Amino acid sequence: MKFIDKLKDIEKIAVKDISDSSNIEELENARVKYLGRKGIVTDAFKGIKSVPKKDKPEAGAFINKLKQKITILIEEKEKSFKSKESAVFENNDITLPGIKRELGHVHPLVKTTQEIIEIFGKMGFKAVESPEIETEYYNFEALNIPKNHPSRETFHTFYIENGNLLRSQTSTSQIRVMEKEKPPIQVIHAGKVYRPDAVDASHSFMFYQIEGFMVDKGIQFSDLKGVLERFAKEYFGDNVKMRFRPHFFPFTEPSAEVDISCFICQGKGCRVCSYKGWLEVLGSGMINPRVFEFVKIDPAVYTGFAFGMGVDRICMLKYGIDDIRLLYENDVRFLKQF
């Protein structure tokens, strides 16, 4: 088949495609198909080099006319669509109330995270991000977690290729930030963490944590207490009480777990607090001097505190959710409540 005959076939098909277009989207697809950068007409221009020398002028002229014809047909078709839309609009009573579209909702976990970060932001904490794929150095070693610690075992950590792992805690952000910045430092960080836990009503293999820490000269445990009390009252209400219980974390010394009085029953005892009157909400402590040594910050000059909380747990407590799986199943009936 001669090159010019192929062009005539292209012309027939193009006219039909444009004529059969029933909406703007189909018409745009036709335009891209024939006039786009990788379209059929563009390819035809490139194909002229294979045409015999004596036929090239005729072929070139035909392609130019074809391009012009397709362009005009598309423009006319587009005008016909717009005129129909205008006619429909003119025939409608624009004074009638419109159809209210249902708006989506912010996921409760996202909402909880945003609210917590906003509260600490008011106290001067800077929000940062850190990678979810980590090394053993950042996830364990630099946080003063020894090699024989149970959390390093495969039944507590997701190990992947090349010696990397999925971070099991957001405390890794402490090391990454302190490596790059010098005191004073005041940071808040939220993100996903991963642990190979069996999924049930209170456990998930992936969940969210928020990590915060402050480093400067003269930072004391009382500063930690003041910051956390301010957060608790801002988030749970002015009447909430707080207590610190001695605990152990390798990366803080001294360490403490923090409870708040149950904001549901006001400390009297209910199903949410297991009738104890208190809710465990986070872990905290003064940053261990050994952690400072890994990031080359002099522990004789600087001190700091750190705290971490599970966003899922905070969210479940605030909204009375009794099964963590509801937060990840994307059940519209559940999500619509928020």
Q: Exposed, middle or buried: residue 277 (CB in 10 Å: 0-12, 13-18, 19+)? A: middle
Closest C-alpha to 46, from 162, 329, 38, 151 = 38
pTM assigned to the model = 0.67
State the pLDDT at residue 93: 66
CA distance 91 to 84: 11
CA distance 321 to 272: 9
CA distance 219 to 214: 8
**Widest CA span of the chain, in angstroms?**
99
CA distance 255 to 245: 8
β-partners of residue 306 are: 213, 285
CA distance 32 to 39: 6
State the pLDDT at residue 1: 58
What are 5-49's pLDDT values in tens digits? 787 888 888 888 888 888 888 888 888 888 888 888 888 888 877
**Tokens of residue 86, six digits:** 């205008």
Type of residue at 225? K
CB 178 within 8 A of CB 293: no
Q: How many CA atoms lie within 13 A of 205 on its CB side?
A: 7
Per-residue pLDDT 10s for the chain (338 aa) are 577 778 788 888 888 888 888 888 888 888 888 888 888 888 888 887 788 888 778 878 888 888 888 888 888 888 887 776 665 555 566 677 777 777 778 899 999 999 999 999 999 999 999 999 999 999 999 999 988 888 888 778 999 988 899 999 999 999 999 999 999 999 999 999 999 988 888 889 999 999 999 999 999 999 999 999 999 999 988 888 999 999 999 999 999 999 988 877 777 777 767 788 888 899 999 999 999 999 999 999 999 999 999 999 899 888 888 889 999 998 888 888 88
CB 178 within 8 A of CB 295: yes
3-class secondary structure, 21 = coil
Residue 281: partners with Cβ closer than 8 Å, 6 or more residues away:
232, 258, 259, 260, 309, 313, 314, 317
Q: Which domains does the chain have, with CATH numbers?
A: 3-90 (no CATH), 108-335 (3.30.930.10)
Q: Where are the alpha helices (DSSP H) in the chain?
A: 3-20, 24-35, 40-47, 56-90, 108-122, 136-139, 172-180, 221-236, 289-294, 311-319, 332-335
